[in-house]
């Protein structure tokens, strides 16, 4: 890799993640002045583009991927589109630019691909063999975190491995895995925040009783370890302990409202965390409530340990499958019937009381009159009514809770279509 004063970095997909890891590429360039001269980014999100340019200290373009690459001739490309756009953009943007480099005698850039899927072998099949490409997935939180990384040729790619470690050194350590290991590790890591939901749900019945919550939490951690051991990846017992305790601390100090806010922050629409939360709400929670209402004392603690262990193992598998298929768009062919529209309205109304939101009477009438032809148009119309009559925070909270509830009933694909036709 070139010295910092000559290094050029292109960012495709300048979203929240690329802003979060700004300390990494800023450190690679060593001085803030070099950011404005040696980094260019693109985004498809026009909202706040001017503020983003001013805040980040380098140019962010609306689209223009091809023009940006040929203008900058980067040494490193940070490739961070939505997962379902990754392969199409590889074929329409990265591959043509690689061909241009080979024809023009320009050195091929190294690519860090940030979507958890597709895997590095799928990039390798579409790009020149000499174009080094790694999949890197930062798992960062307020208390630190780690980065999962995979390269297509294992140990022989030592150059790119050392670059990855150097790049992320300001923020986190790197865990190198085989391609199949990233979805498994990432899926099981999504169990960490759900530990907060587990503890919050138990405390609703029993208060914060360590003699009951403790065994359930131990079972939850054990289930994560069981899954990782079964698929042959590093168990990371200390990491499991630290991360689950971070989230359960939020549940203990902030209660159910803090857990809900944590879920909203963690759940990308159609993503892994959302899939896990819907699966937890659809199955685990009812089993948990059954035990909490029927059992007492020692039998309850033992039963919760077994339930939590089995469920975290089961949900880890579901999350891993979703992680491996993130680049495949979700679809739901079921007709958007009047029953489904009413189900979403019901989810909105039912979410209000637990969320502590008072709905104006006229809002209920407005929602009843909405009759969108597709999930997306219907959802947009509901959103407009809510944001018109409620505070932004309350409207945002209700819409999220309603969409999760709708997904519990009809599946993640149906919930995804509410946002993306």
What are the pLDDT digits (tens) for 241-298?
999 998 999 999 998 889 998 898 888 888 899 999 999 999 999 999 998 988 877 7
Phi, psi of 178 (to 5 degrees): -65, 160
Contact 131, 95 (CB under 8 A): no
Please tell me whether residue 356 adopts helix, strand or coil conformation.
coil
Residue range 39-68: mean pLDDT, rounded: 90
Q: Is the dihedral of CA 73, 76, 81, 83 positive or negative?
A: positive
Q: How far apart are CA 105 and CA 230, in angstroms?
A: 47
With a cut of 60, say whether residue 200 has pLDDT above it: yes
Predicted pLDDT at 334? 85
Q: Could you say which DSSP state residue 284 is in?
A: I
What confidence score (pLDDT) does residue 4 get? 87
The pLDDT of residue 155 is above 60: no
pLDDT tens for each residue of 287-346: 999 989 888 777 899 999 999 999 999 999 999 999 999 998 877 778 899 999 999 999
Instruction: Give the tokens for residue 331.
Output: 């679809």
Q: From the CA atom positions of the chain, what is the Rg in Å?
A: 23
Share of the chain above pLDDT 90, in %: 71
Query: For residues 60 and 32, what is the distance between their CA atoms, to the nearest angstrom?
Result: 16
pLDDT computed for residue 1 by the predictor: 75
Average pLDDT, the chain: 91
CATH assignment, 9-178: 3.40.50.720
For residues 52 and 48, what is the distance between their CA atoms, to the nearest angstrom?
Answer: 6
With a cut of 90, say whether residue 193 has pLDDT above it: yes
- What residue spans define the domains of the chain? 9-178, 186-324, 338-417
Consecutive H or E run containing 67: helix 65-72
Helix H or strand E encompassing 410: helix 392-410
Mean pLDDT of 168-178: 92
CA dihedral 235, 192, 183, 411 (to 10 degrees): 140
Question: Considering only CA atoms, which of 276, 270, 272, 280 is closest in space to residue 416?
Answer: 270
- For the residues 179-196, what does the mean pLDDT come to? 94
pLDDT digits (tens, 9 = 90+) for 123-132: 999 999 889 9
Give CA–CA dist 311/279, Å, rounded. 10
Percent above pLDDT 70 for the chain: 97
End-to-end CA, the chain: 42
The whole model's pTM is what?
Answer: 0.86
Res 211: pLDDT? 93
């Amino acid at each position: 890799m070139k010295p910092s004063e000559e290094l050029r970095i292109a960012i495709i997909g300048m979203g929240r993640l690329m802003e979060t890891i700004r300390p990494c590429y800023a450190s690679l360039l060593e001085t803030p002045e070099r950011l404005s001269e040696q980094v260019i980014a693109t985004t498809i999100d026009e909202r706040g583009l001017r503020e983003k340019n001013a805040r980040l200290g380098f140019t962010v373009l609306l689209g223009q991927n091809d023009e940006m690459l040929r203008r900058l001739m980067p040494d490193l490309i940070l490739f961070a589109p939505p997962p379902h756009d990754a392969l199409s953009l590889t074929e329409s943007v990265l591959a043509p630019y690689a061909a241009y480099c080979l024809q023009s005698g320009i050195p091929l850039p190294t690519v860090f691909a940030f979507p958890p899927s597709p895997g590095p072998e799928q990039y390798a099949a579409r790009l020149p063999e000499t174009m080094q490409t790694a999949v890197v997935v930062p798992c960062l939180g307020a208390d630190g975190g780690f980065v999962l990384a995979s390269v297509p040729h294992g140990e022989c790619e030592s150059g790119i491995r050392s670059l990855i470690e150097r790049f992320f050194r300001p923020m986190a350590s790197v865990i190198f895995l085989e391609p199949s290991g990233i979805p498994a590790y990432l899926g099981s890591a999504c169990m960490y925040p759900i530990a907060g939901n587990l503890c919050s749900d138990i405390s609703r019945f029993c208060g914060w009783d360590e003699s009951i919550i403790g065994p359930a939490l131990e079972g939850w951690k054990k289930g994560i370890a069981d899954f990782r051991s079964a698929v042959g990846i590093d168990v990371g017992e200390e990491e499991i302990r630290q991360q689950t305790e971070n989230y359960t601390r939020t549940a203990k100090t902030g209660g159910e409202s803090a857990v809900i806010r944590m879920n909203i922050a963690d759940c990308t629409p159609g993503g892994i965390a959302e899939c896990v939360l819907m699966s937890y709400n659809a199955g685990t929670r009812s089993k948990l409530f059954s035990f909490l209402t029927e059992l007492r004392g020692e039998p309850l603690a033992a039963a919760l340990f077994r339930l939590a262990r089995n469920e975290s193992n089961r949900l880890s598998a579901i999350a891993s499958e979703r992680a491996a298929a993130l680049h495949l768009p979700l679809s739901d062919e079921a007709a958007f019937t009047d029953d489904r529209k009413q189900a979403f309205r019901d989810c909105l109304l039912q979410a209000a009381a637990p969320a502590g939101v008072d709905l104006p009477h006229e809002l209920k009438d407005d929602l009843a009159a909405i009759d969108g032809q597709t999930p997306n148009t219907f959802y947009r119309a509901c959103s407009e009514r809510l944001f018109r009559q409620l505070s932004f925070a309350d409207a945002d909270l209700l819409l999220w809770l309603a969409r999760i509830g709708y997904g519990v009933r009809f599946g993640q694909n149906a919930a995804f279509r509410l946002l993306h036709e």
